[in-house]
């Protein structure tokens, strides 16, 4: 069970819910009290006819238009309809689950003036795996992810479209799980869930926030942490295949420049190659003083990537436990009692604060930085792959890692693919956060473009996992040629795992299938956990 209180959600929680490893999500009792207090303030202000942005007024440029009390429900529903203007391919189911969770947690903080029933509607969708169809393009990332969140919120009210899980049963007794698109209303009827009827402030509270960019960022970051481990393993295997020297990993070097990630990677490389017969075979008579940067500087480059991941994790952890809508509804902390206007207890004290917590700049910066760092993880990996396949650089390995060159091309084109993806990453690593186009008649005159940072990062992550898979594939082939000498404890285990999926390349075959098998091997934590050194 995951308990939401607006303060303690972790990246691991997000990943578990996104992968549907955890389906029981509830709101803490303390959070329910905070939600009730902020909601009571909204209801009292509406009853008194106060003029408050987005509650009794229009939105954006229309903030100067006062809305009659009898039209406040329509105001909130119209907001969702008008802002559901997204385009492009829908967000993946994992991202939508993460988005539902993050929106619920932000609202559970008790600063949004929304009813508990509205937040629980998000959790009902999550529990039933009813996932709003959310187009991926349309957010500029500064008044929150307005368009994507509007598509999400609209589905809560029975409008728009969702996907639901379906299982197909074949005559042969096999079962195939897939998702089917349907109208939200039809899905709600089927799941016995009532459509949400919005009250004052609730449409605005549901769509003002950074949850789309944060959802994508959390899942990309979770995979980035795995890729950092995989990169070390791939680097250790290439170290073995290229018969490199381990002097560059000496802890005294890294004590002289004590970056946390650098020191960690240097120590890990030594553990991965510990006991290597390959390294021992040329330790005494190695004519090379030092290796190329792609081997020698693994601690410095991989370590800097880890430090960047740590920075992004700190930022995202704060963000997913923050209130990011506007205005924020803050009850008086010294007067936390609940009361009802006219019931003899007086009015609940508090404030509505118009600000800009929806601006995605912190997330945009961190996701742009993470894309840059991961691009470098792929870049240095591709350089090691080049050394493995290039007979002039591989320290005696067969050209393109085949004994029958000419008739066979070996892994020649695998390096092409890695090079293409690294080049693509160079374009994707251009920061979206340095751009801004004004919106809402220049009321929103500086936008973060954080959603674009997030979408680019998604692509970078996929490219990096492929580049690392190619290195693992080529390094395993290179180690084969050094038998009967055995690699180290960790690098040897990695070699064994790759070989269980992909046999040695004796003659040419479909290399794409080899790459796909290694990518599959490195999905999740199984591969990494088998090499916990």
Contact of 102 with 14, CB cutoff 8 Å: yes
Please state, in angstroms and rounded to a whole number, the distance separating the CA atoms of residues 481 and 492: 14
- Which residues have a catalytic role annotated? 53
Q: Which two tokens stand for residue 107?
A: 């609202």
Is residue 465 within 8 Å of 416, Cβ to Cβ?
A: no
Element holding 180 (H helix, E strand): strand 175-183
DSSP secondary structure string, 40-75? HHHHHHHHHT---TTTTB-SGGGGG-B--GGGHHHH
What is the C-alpha to C-alpha distance for residues 213 and 452, in angstroms, rounded to an integer? 8
What are the DSSP calls for 350-368, one per residue?
Answer: EEEE---TT--HHHHHHHH
For residue 164, which of 118, 132, 196 has the smallest C-alpha distance?
132
Torsion of CA 195, 201, 204, 208, to 10 degrees: -120
Q: How many CB atoms lie within 10 A of CB 511?
A: 19
**Dist CA 311 CA 491 (whole Å):** 29
- Among residues 290, 348, 365, the alpha carbon closest in space to that of 48 is found at 348
In angstroms, the Cα distances linking 365 to 115, 359, 371, 452 are: 33, 12, 10, 11
Beta bridge partners of 181: 163
- If we measure between CA atoms, which residue out of 53, 37, 47 comes closest to residue 201? 53
Close Cβ partners of 37 (under 8 Å, ≥ 6 residues apart): 110, 331, 336, 338, 348, 350
Number of CB atoms found within 10 A of residue 500's CB: 10
């Amino acid at each position: 069970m995951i308990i939401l209180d607006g303060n303690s959600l972790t990246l691991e929680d997000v990943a578990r819910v996104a992968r549907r490893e955890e389906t029981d999500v509830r709101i803490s009792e303390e959070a329910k009290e905070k939600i009730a207090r902020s909601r009571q303030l909204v209801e009292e202000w509406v009853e008194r006819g106060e003029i408050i942005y987005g509650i009794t007024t229009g939105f954006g440029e229309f903030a100067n238009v006062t809305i009659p009390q009898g039209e406040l429900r329509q105001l909130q529903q119209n907001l969702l309809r008008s802002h559901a203007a997204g385009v492009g391919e829908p967000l993946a189911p994992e991202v939508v689950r993460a988005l539902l969770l993050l929106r619920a947690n932000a609202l559970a903080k008790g600063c949004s003036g929304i009813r508990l029933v509205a937040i629980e509607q998000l959790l009902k969708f999550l529990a039933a795996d009813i996932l709003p169809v959310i187009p991926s393009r349309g957010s500029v990332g500064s008044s929150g992810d307005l368009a994507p969140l509007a598509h999400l919120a609209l589905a809560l009210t029975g409008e728009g479209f969702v996907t639901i899980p379906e299982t197909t049963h074949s005559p042969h007794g096999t079962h195939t799980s897939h998702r089917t698109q349907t109208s939200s209303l039809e899905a709600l009827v089927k799941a016995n869930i009532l459509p949400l009827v919005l009250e004052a402030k609730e449409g605005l509270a549901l769509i003002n926030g950074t949850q789309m960019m944060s959802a994508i960022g959390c899942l990309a970051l979770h995979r980035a942490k795995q890729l950092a481990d995989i990169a070390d393993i791939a680097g250790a295997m290439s170290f073995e295949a290229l018969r490199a020297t381990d002097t560059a990993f000496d802890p005294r070097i890294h004590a002289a420049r004590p970056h946390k990630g650098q020191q960690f990677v240097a120590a890990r490389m030594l553990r991965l190659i510990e006991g290597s017969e390959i390294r021992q075979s040329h330790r005494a008579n190695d004519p090379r003083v030092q290796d190329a940067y792609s081997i020698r500087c693994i601690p410095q480059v991989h370590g800097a990537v880890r430090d960047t991941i740590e920075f992004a994790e700190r930022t995202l952890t704060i963000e997913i436990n923050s209130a990011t809508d506007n205005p924020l509804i803050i009850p008086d902390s010294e007067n936390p009692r609940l009361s009802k206007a006219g019931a003899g207890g007086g009015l609940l004290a508090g404030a509505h604060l118009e600000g800009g917590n929806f601006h995605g700049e912190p997330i945009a910066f961190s996701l742009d930085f993470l894309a840059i760092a991961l691009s470098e993880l792929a870049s240095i990996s591709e350089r090691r792959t080049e050394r493995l396949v290039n007979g002039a650089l591989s320290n005696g390995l067969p050209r393109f890692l085949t004994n029958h060159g000419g008739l066979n091309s070996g892994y020649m084109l695998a390096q092409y693919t890695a090079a293409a993806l690294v080049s693509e990453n160079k374009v994707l690593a251009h920061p979206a956060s340095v751009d801004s186009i004004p919106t809402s008649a220049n009321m929103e005159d500086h936008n973060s473009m954080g959603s674009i940072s997030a979408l680019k990062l998604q692509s970078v992550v996929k490219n990096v996992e492929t580049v690392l898979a190619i290195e693992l594939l080529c390094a395993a082939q290179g180690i084969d040629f050094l038998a009967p000498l055995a690699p180290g404890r960790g690098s040897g285990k990695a070699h064994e795992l790759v070989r269980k999926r992909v046999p040695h390349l004796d003659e040419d075959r479909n290399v794409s299938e080899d790459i796909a098998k290694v990518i599959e091997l490195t999905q999740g934590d199984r591969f990494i956990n088998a090499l916990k050194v």
